Chain A
Amino acid sequence: MFGFGLIKGLLITFKNLILPSRLFTVHQYPDRKVGPIELARYHQDWQNTSFIQFVINNPIKTIKSLIGLISIQDRYPQHSRFRGQEFGWYENRCTGCASCAKYCPLGIIKIETSRSGVDLDEGQKYKVDVFDIDMGRCMFCGLCVEACPYDALFMGSGFEESKYFRQELNIDINNLKNNDTKPSNWFRPQLESKNYDPRRNGALEWDQVGRHQKPTDTDQANKWSKR
């Protein structure tokens, strides 16, 4: 009918205006403003109180959230296989083979090694002197991690690592050594099978992240004697 479409459109927008269950296309980040009900729900996670109890216990917080002054930190779930910054690297596992450097399509990993004088019998094990990753150019393809034969290199899970200077984006060996290593599960099924989550669980030590069990002495002996 004539003019009916106009009214229908008005009703649709009005519905969207008053219904509380609208679908937001925007998420607030990194914190979001909440009303009292959401705030109480957020508190319930660790306090186990009902909404009314929450209002009675924290009246000031309720009023503040009513006028939109309270914001909560609330991260959206992130998959444990997320490929992000803060590469994880274990010095104890790394042999300095430089496979990662060779596989990187951008050539941004720089490795310098020297003789360490350790394990001379089993062939020289190198000492890694320089391990630079230029994060400013990294595209997080993860090829370096796939290439590492000794499970020494891992992707990280951070994504908000903007810096003021380009220089600060270079990760050098001290950085890699000193940081808590929370490896991402990317290309590491051994971590995934343990239900490890880098954002929830803590840092892992070098002997917890390997693909295989550490060979026992008898295994070792068998292997070498056969040869």
Chain B
Amino acid sequence: MNINNFQNIINSLIPGLPTWLVFITSAILISFIVINAVVITGALTVWLERRLLARIQSRLGPNRWGPFGLFTPVADLIKMIGKEDTVPATADKKIFNLAPIVLLVPVLLVFAVIPMSNNSFLGQLNIGILFIVGVTGFNTLAVFMAAWSSRNKYALFGAMRGVAMLLSYEVPMALSIISIVLTTNFLLNIDGSNLSALSLVGIVQAQKIPFFILQPLGALIFVTAASAEMSRAPFDMIESESELGAGYHTEYSGIKFAIFQLTEFLAPVATAAIISVMFAGGIKGLSFIPGSVILVVKIFVIVLIFIWIRATWPRLRVDQIMNFAWKFLLPLSVINIFSQAIILQIFYSSDSIITINELWTIAFINWILAGISIFLLAKLFGHKGRDKNIPIPSKLANMEFTSE
């Protein structure tokens, strides 16, 4: 199902329409279908997340409305729409109203390039991965718009540290994508395929073995950076409930708050879609199951893992988050890029072809390399190696001071 099929259908139903009209109609139709499907998925994710978190924490979760509380999102939505939509008197109203939309639209746009079959919904974009990086960068802007325009100090605190975090995690994310593109380019060139290495379809084509096996380091960096990008636990710095009220959407209520909530729960789905395409082989898998089903299953599993992580790990401190990004993930991703380039070149230059067996060898080398580099970096930058900063109490405090 993609836009070309729709154009063909419309052309055969009503022949003789001008081309631009056919294009616009089919584009609107397919966007309508995709957006509705994605939003319903988001609502179901809300339910799933609440149920699973409750189960892990020995609670019950929503269980009253419908079987297993499945209709709870509907009730939530009705409540949200029914609420008064308040705008602070000192708020910058235009930006205040625009912010939820700016946050929601990029998440929906991501689904335009996810290849659900051999083609994505809106046709084949040959710079798909650049599109995703560019579009997801918008959430930094939206968060800051929401916080700045609402004139609330807690919102601004949240947005300030959030923007710092988002910007720093964008770097390792982009670098880990580079190593993926590099590998894809090698493998596609060997196949003699004419697909672009930057397109998601090309990346899926190139995955003879899934990239998370081939490049464990890249997968690790990407998953970490992506979960920071969508600001989920353990990186939910933007809206740390225990410290900042609700963070950047403190002042929002009613339907705008509903949009923020929806985006927050759609983000794991979108990220899981990107990860499953880039690292888990996308539509590839068992040949007797249709590709879209395989992709949906993969997305579901990755969302489950995100929920599991959220239920387990506590939130990091601000300085820990920044240290982790710049001292740990950045060197790791640089190591990743260079090691990939060198290893692939070595294997390629011997007989100018990389067979499946050679790929498994590369994967094995990469796993060992990942272990060693993580261990070394942790030794180098971990808190154990550093001198402890013992505070010296003032003489006025009249305390007995003994050094450890």
The answer to whether A and B assemble together is yes
- Which residues of chain A have a CB within 8 Å of any CB of chain B? 2-3, 6, 9-10, 12-14, 16-17, 22-26, 28, 33, 67-69
Map CB proximity to A onto B34-67 as digits: 1 under 8 Å, 0 otherwise.
Answer: 0000000000000000001001111110010001
Q: Which residues B112-153 have CB closer than 8 A to chain A?
A: none
Contact status B382-A2, CB under 8 Å: yes
Inter-chain contact A69/B59, CB cutoff 8 Å: no
Residues of chain A within 8 A (CB-CB) of B63 are: 28, 33, 68
Give residues 288-334 of B contacting A (CB, 8 Å).
Answer: 308-309, 311-313
- Contact call A10/B308, Cβ cutoff below 8 A: yes
Least distance between A219 CB and chain B CB atoms (Å): 60
Q: Does B87 contact A (CB under 8 A)?
A: no
Docked-complex contact B56 and A25, CB < 8 angstroms: no
CB-defined contacts of A14 to chain B, threshold 8 Å:
308
List residues of chain A with CB within 8 A of the CB of B60.
24, 26, 28
Q: With an 8 A cutoff between CB atoms, is B68 at the interface?
A: yes
**6 pairs, A vs B, C-beta closer than 8 Å:** A2-B374, A10-B308, A13-B56, A16-B58, A25-B58, A67-B67
* Contact partners of A28 in chain B: CB under 8 A: 60, 63
The 3 closest A-B pairs by CB, nearest first: A67-B67, A68-B68, A13-B312
- Name the residue of chain A whose CB is nearest to the CB of B375: A2
Q: Which residues of A contact B68 (CB under 8 A)?
A: 67-68
Residues on B lying within 8 angstroms of A by beta carbon are 52, 55-60, 63, 67-69, 308-309, 311-313, 374-375, 378, 382
- The reply to whether B312 and A9 form a contact with Cβ atoms under 8 Å apart is yes
Q: Is the interface of B mostly helix, strand, loop or mixed?
A: helix
The residues of B that contact A33 with a CB separation of less than 8 Å are 63
Known: A67-B68, A69-B67. A13 touches B311 (CB 8 A): yes
Contact A24 B378 (CB under 8 A): no
Interfacial chain B residues near A25, Cβ < 8 Å: 58-59
By the criterion CB–CB under 8 Å, are A17 and B67 in contact? no
Residue of A whose beta carbon sits closest to that of B57 = A16
A25 to B311, CA, bound (A): 17
Of the residues A2, A23, A68, contact of B67 by C-beta under 8 Å: A68
Chain B residues contacting A69 (CB-CB under 8 Å) are: 67
Expressed in whole angstroms, the minimum distance between the Cβ of A100 and any Cβ of chain B is 42
Extra contacts besides A10-B309, A23-B58, A68-B67 (15): CB < 8 Å: A9-B313, A13-B56, A13-B308, A13-B311, A14-B308, A16-B57, A16-B58, A17-B56, A22-B55, A24-B60, A25-B59, A26-B59, A28-B60, A67-B67, A69-B67
What is the minimal beta-carbon distance from A39 to any residue of chain B, in angstroms?
Answer: 15
**Given the interface contacts A13-B308, A17-B308, A69-B67, does A2 sit within 8 Å of B378 by beta carbon?**
yes
A173 to B250, CA, bound (A): 54
Question: Once the chains are docked, how many angstroms separate the CA of A6 from the CA of B382?
Answer: 15
Q: In the complex, A14 Cα to B378 Cα: how many Å?
A: 26
Name the one of B56, B69, B375 contacting A16, with C-beta atoms under 8 angstroms.
B56
- A22: chain B residues at CB < 8 Å are 55, 58
Partner of A6, one of B57, B58, B69, B313: B313
Q: Which residue of B lies closest to A9 (CB)?
A: B312
Q: How far is the CA of A117 from the CA of B311 in the complex (A)?
A: 75
Q: Which chain B residue shows the least CB distance to A11?
A: B312
Beta-carbon contact of A3 and B378 below 8 Å: yes
Residue among B56, B68, B308 having the largest count of chain A Cβ atoms under 10 Å: B56
Q: What are the residues of chain A within 8 A of B57 when measuring CB–CB?
A: 16
CA distance A3 to B383 in the complex (A): 12
The answer to whether A17 and B55 touch across the interface, beta carbons within 8 angstroms, is yes
Chain A minimum-CB-distance residue to B314 = A9
CB of B59 within 8 A of CB of A24, answer yes
Q: With both chains docked as a complex, state the minimum distance between the C-beta of A189 and any C-beta of chain B, in angstroms.
A: 40
Taken together as a complex, chains A and B put the C-alpha atoms of A14 and B57 apart, in Å, by: 11
Nearest neighbor of A23 in chain B, beta-carbon distance: B58
A3 to B63, CA, bound (A): 36
In the bound complex, residues from chain A placing their C-beta under 8 Å from that of B56 are 13, 16-17
> Given A2-B382, A24-B60, A69-B67, is A17 in contact with B312 using a C-beta cutoff of 8 Å?
no
Q: Smallest CB-CB separation from A17: which chain B residue?
A: B56
Contacts of A23 in B (CB 8 A): 58
Q: Is the CB of B311 within 8 A of A24?
A: no
